[in-house]
A = this chain, B = another copy of it.
Amino acid sequence: MGENDDSEIIEHHVDEAMEKKTSQRSQTRSFLESVTSSERDGHSSTQSSHRLLAYSDALISIIATVMILPVAHTKIGEHEELKESFQLLLATKIAVYLMTFLIVTVAWAAHIRLFQVIERIDDFLALLNLACMMLITFLPYTFTLMATFPENVLGILLFCACVMVIGLIQAAIVIYGFSRPFLLNEQIQISQDQAYFKHHILKVIMRVPIMCLFASIFSFIFFQLSYVILAIVIFLPYIAQSLKWCKAKAIGQPLEDEPDAVLFYTYHPSEPLSKERVEAFSDGVYAIVATLLILDICEDNVPDPITVQEKFGGSLVAALRDYGPEFLAYFGSFATVGLLWFVHHSLFLHVTRASRLMGLFNTFSLAFVGGLPLAYELTTEFRHDPRNAAEAVQASCVILFFAGIFQLAIWVAALFDERQTLHPLVRYGGRDHAFMLAKLALYPCVALGTYFLTCVLSEFSASIFHLMQLAVPVAFLLLRLLVGLSLVLLRALLTALRKTPEGAAAAAEGGGLMEEDEEARVPYSDVVS
């Protein structure tokens, strides 16, 4: 199977795709949707990478969230104080969870970038990618070792070994890809400078494994240093580029004529990230997190037949009543995670291009979402103990607030560069701008409100929390109505004010709250258009 044979296949494929495109038009939409690109492209030894990437996203999202399990399974004794247990037992595990989440998403970002260069795959690349995935899924274990035995070099050595092998596999993928140019991104295929691109990309990819090699050598001499090296390797490029970018933005000076970010492997915060893959990754995390509690419930919360006979006189209902809080926690966390997914979904419907900065905020939001089931379990576990209950509810509110506020941050980051990233309808002053803002602001506002209410009325914290859980889905259902109503009211108010010029000036000054301010401008543009 020489190269000649392969390029023939490609030509054949292209002709076929063209043919299909013209014939498709006449067919129904439902059929059109089922004709995925993988199907159009899949008739030769090279394939569209679509499904490979979807599978990789699924694997990586599971691995990113897996370290929440040890956190969630930390059992707290009945008579201990919640606060102390938190500090003593959970701190390390939470740190491991967050570290894993961060590092795995960095690996995921590198994977996105690699497969933005290699756009088509064949069997060999698919198998190489699977080997790469196997090593990525092993990373969380090395972190657990590092956290449990911080003085032992084994954890860091294992981590470095994994990263080095991942780097070598990625380099092999790049070299293989460039040896069969029809697998590459079209822009690179067209360009005359393929050798230059290849060397540049290999240089960027190999930087990390080489630094890891140094880190693993240093770990025998002075192991604290290797932690520092690793931190530098992983985060420095991002931080340095972000600072440079922020400085340029702050001064207002235009960035030096940016080369195409995809091809040059930069770390610009405005670098485009495949929107499809951000969605797939987020879907995976939301799905795992939503079902985390049912995994435990199915395994642990089935009473033993003998216990039921002896303790509850054979009444299964009475036995299950003991598990009531777990079920409540499950439905509560499923609903919350589902609604957060719904907000994310609504936002990304209107995003036309995701940038690296938006991806970062998305990662932070997802990391907090992962903590929700745990918080909800605590909240329902302590419902009979007012003091701990208030603290558990407040912890839930804090997590919920951050999960929501980082979603809002994605939106704000998108607004900064709205011509590139957002659809006109939701841009500043657009028709759906206020509605989107309301959707994104709902959870942070509710979480903040609940937090302060429980501070004041700490005795009723559990009831307040349950009320909030019931109210939020209803609020989402009525949101469009509410936003519409408040816009109509504002419009009426503005028309009334405009009749007296002094009133209009007062209104312009009076819009102190950012939210009201934004909403107030929407009717303006509505009236104008």
Contacts and interface: CB of A to CB of B under 8 A. Distances in A.
If over half of A's interface residues share one DSSP class (helix, strand or loop), that class is named, otherwise mixed; here it is helix
A63 B30 contact: no
Contact of A138 (B124, B294, B308): B294
B33 A276 contact: yes
A66 B317 contact: no
A50 to B, nearest CB: 8
Contacts of A301: 141
A295 B187 contact: no
B70 A477 contact: no
A33 B39 contact: no
A69 B295 contact: yes
Contacts of A279: 51, 54
A83 interface: no
Interface string A391-405: 000000000000000
A342 B294 CA distance: 29
Contact of A298 (B44, B47, B141, B320): B141
Given A39-B352, A58-B287, A480-B123, A52 B298 contact: no
Contacts of A66: 291, 294-295, 298
A342 B122 CA distance: 11
Interface stretch (A331-339, A493-501, A511-519): A331-339
Instruction: Count chain B CB atoms within 10 A of each CB in A36, A66, A287, A342 and give the residue with the most.
Output: A287
A484 interface: yes
Contact of A69 (B44, B52, B137, B298): B298
A34 B274 contact: yes
A7 interface: no
Contacts of A127: 339, 342, 473, 476-477
A342 B28 contact: no
Contacts of A330: 138
A464 interface: no
Interface string A20-48: 00000000111001101111001111010
A113 B286 CA distance: 24
B1 A480 contact: yes
Contacts of A352: 39
Contacts of A351: 39
A350 interface: yes
Given A55-B286, A137-B294, A334-B137, A37 B33 contact: yes
Interface stretch (A142-150, A175-183, A207-215, A374-382): A142-150
Contacts of A140: 294, 298
A335 B134 contact: yes
Interface in A97-128: 116, 119, 123-124, 126-127
A62 B287 contact: yes
Contacts of A1: 480, 484
Contacts of A134: 331, 334-335, 338
Interface in A409-460: 423-425
A239 interface: no
Give the interface centre of A67, A116, A338, A484 by most chain B CB atoms within 10 Å.
A338
A70 B152 CA distance: 34
Contacts of A206: none
Contacts of A345: 51-52, 55, 126
A271 interface: no
A435 B323 CA distance: 54
Contacts of A33: 37, 50, 119, 276
Given A66-B294, A141-B297, 6 more contacts: A30-B185, A43-B350, A51-B345, A63-B294, A127-B473, A134-B331
Interface of A: 1, 28-30, 33-34, 36-39, 42-45, 47, 50-52, 54-55, 58-59, 62-63, 66-67, 69-70, 73, 116, 119, 123-124, 126-127, 130, 133-134, 137-138, 140-141, 144-145, 148-149, 152, 154, 185-187, 262, 272, 274-276, 279-280, 283-284, 286-288, 290-291, 294-295, 297-299, 301-303, 305, 308, 316-317, 320, 330-331, 334-335, 338-339, 341-342, 345-346, 348-353, 423-425, 473, 476-477, 479-480, 484
Cβ-closest 4 pairs across A and B? A42-B349, A58-B287, A130-B338, A29-B186
